[in-house]
Amino acid sequence: MISKKKAGRKRTRNQTKKDFVQEELQKKEIPSVQKTSETEDIQFQVINPANLEVIGSLPIFNQEQVEEKIRYARETFPSWSSLSLNQRSRELLKLRSYLAKNSEEMISTICLETGKSRMDALTEVLTVCESIDYVAKQGKKHLKPQKRNTGLILAHKKAYINYHPYGVVGVISPWNYPLILSLTPIVNALMAGNTVVLKPSEITPFTALKVLEFFQKAGLPEGILQIVTGKGSTGAALVESMGTHMICFTGSTATGKKIAETCAKMLKPVILELGGKDPLLVFEDANLKRAAKAAIWGGFFNSGQTCISVERVYVQDSVYDSFIHLLMEEYKNVRQGQENNFPEVGSMTSPGQVKILEEHYEDAQKKGAKILVGGIRQENQKGYYHKPAILVDVNHTMKIMKEETFGPEISIMRFSTEEEGIALANDSCYGLNSSIWTGNANRGKQIAKKIQSGSVCINDCLSNYPVSDLPFGGFKESGMGKVHGPEGIRSFSQIQSVIMNRWFWKLDKELWWYPYSEKFYKFMDRMMKLLFG
């Protein structure tokens, strides 16, 4: 673990970024790695996507090392789970306060390894602070014993349910939101009384290590959060271990299916938050200017690397041309970079995702699509900067309208009737989020019922995720299970039903216990007809 002496070290003014990173590495709870000719097999490098410089190297945890962390989490579980809900709440609120007070330190770490703009990184920290606050305060209500109705026949009894933790929860988080998509499930799991082993993405592991450091500096109990760094093999070890009692995974649908298959064989519960291809429907009675602003922001925010990004835009024929004009006007306000003058769009994070984005552009253009603006790499930038794009003349034969693109682009398609627009929005294997734009609130509500997605925003986009009281999760291949809200908190618990006599009568038996008789049979039959007939 980190010593108090090391934990107290501060970055000096004259210390370079490289020196700071190396010092941070020395402070982490990571086994030392000897430099050998096989270093590539036991270490991986982390690259700053904004300038392609090496941030540092971290170890790839093998099966034995993963099991060691799981054992530590299991040893910590009894003491943590025995705390009252009020005690767990107080511990988590300490983390919230520390994170809010030291936000710049976390924001800098996020920017360093994701290439995000500082505003995008600030949004991560703000959203997480809101989430911790909700879970810590509302979790006390949602996890306490709940009374249940015993019905008419057993009216002389009382019933309730208890929420029990699973034990050790394995969390596997992605690179696009390394703070939100790590800490949100961690906090939910901890509030429910579990301990956690986190495997962050190999692309953005330093944010997770910073989270662990914040846990320690905020004074949370040692051992309730463990971190294992590595690649796919490390994540597989966490999933396949008999020591983890539940898995929460956020990532691609393909990987999520493999995890679900593995967990099913072990009867291990799993929460999967997977891909999206979210539609934005603009009807002729919509506020077009607001809808255009939303499409630009919802498609380009975090360089489009958001599971609920606006990727498919459907516009009714009668307002199509006006909407395109407004989009092009709004596009003029989009600047790209990371540090100077707080630009709107940062770099992309993953080189693999850049490749997918370019493949989708190429496929769309071959099939008749037109890129109105953007769609090229920023040659004057060293990192993974891809100029945000607006595409038209697209259709559902194109990858860019069928597969998750996960880049800074929006693709626009016409529709004529309301029914056609709804059908196009639902024509996807995904169903994570969607957005409806209309001047009629009742119309919006009725259309929302027909949209096949786990969340719907009316005259807004992406705003559902920061609302901590709203459950979040997808339909179809966008996942299973929920995070956020009472449903999300309780997802990390096992439900135990309890029934007992309302009064402790000193009776030898219940009426329906042996021995049976014809008289009793007729009595029960009359009761059934009287109550339910």
HEC string for 114-134? HCCCHHHHHHHHHHHHHHHHH
The Cα–Cα gap between 33 and 57 comes to: 10
Q: Are 452 and 431 in contact (CB under 8 A)?
A: yes
Q: Residue length, the chain?
A: 533
The Cα–Cα gap between 168 and 71 comes to: 9
Q: Which of 307, 344, 404, 409 is catalytic?
A: 307
273 belongs to the catalytic site: yes
404 belongs to the catalytic site: no
Q: Which of 124, 240, 273, 404 is catalytic?
A: 273
- First-to-last alpha carbon distance for the chain, in angstroms, is 67
Largest CA-CA distance found in the chain, in angstroms, rounded: 93
The set of long-range contacts for 213-219, using a CB threshold of 8 Å and a minimum separation of 24, is 213/2, 213/7, 213/27, 213/28, 214/95, 214/98, 214/99, 214/102, 214/106, 215/95, 216/1, 216/2, 216/7, 217/7, 217/98, 218/94, 218/95, 218/97, 218/98, 218/99, 219/94
The Cα–Cα gap between 288 and 263 comes to: 46
Q: Which two tokens stand for residue 230?
A: 């590595």
- Do the bridges between strand 409-415 and strand 430-431 make them parallel or antiparallel, or are there none, so unpaired? unpaired
272 membership: H or E segment, kind and range: strand 270-273
The Cα–Cα gap between 93 and 133 comes to: 7
Q: CB count, 10 Å around CB of 522?
A: 10
Which residues, 6 or more positions from 392, have their beta carbon under 8 angstroms from its beta carbon? 324, 369, 370, 372, 411, 412
Residues with a known catalytic role: 273, 307
